[in-house]
Amino acid sequence: MGNQQVLRINGTRIKNIHHLAHLVDSCKDKYIVFEFEDNYLAVLEREAASAASSHILRDYGIPSQRSPDLLEPYVDSLGDNQAIEQEFGDSPVSNLEIGFDGLLWA
């Protein structure tokens, strides 16, 4: 996969890394769909990923899930409903390709 930029989570365009952490933490869907550049998708079952996190951190000697600044509550300076345009353009995956349950329909 290499170095890939996360463009969207469950169809929501990522504004910054703090926004990404907020979207993951606040997700209530069964699946979390990470949309990357080059049409790459990673789909995780939210509850299973959450349950495995502590084991993965321990097994690989990672001291914490995230840096302290990402533990602070997310504040959207542009407003939650305001669209944001990034220099990288639109995601290569349209919202129409992802069903309501977060699964990719081919």
> For the CA atoms of 93, 77, 20, 95, what is the dihedral angle to 10 degrees?
-20
Predicted confidence at residue 38, as pLDDT, reads 86
Domain that holds residue 18: 6-97
Among left, alpha and beta (phi > 0; psi -120 to 50; other), residue 105 is beta
pLDDT in tens, 31-86: 999 999 988 999 999 999 999 999 999 999 999 999 999 988 888 876 544 444 44
Q: pTM above 0.75?
A: no
Is the pLDDT reported for residue 90 higher than 60? no
C-alpha to C-alpha distance for 80 and 14, rounded to whole angstroms? 12
C-alpha to C-alpha distance for 54 and 60, rounded to whole angstroms? 10
C-alpha to C-alpha distance for 93 and 102, rounded to whole angstroms? 12
Is the pLDDT reported for residue 91 higher than 80? no
How many domains, the chain? Answer: 1
Predicted confidence at residue 73, as pLDDT, reads 87
CATH number at residue 23: 3.20.190.20
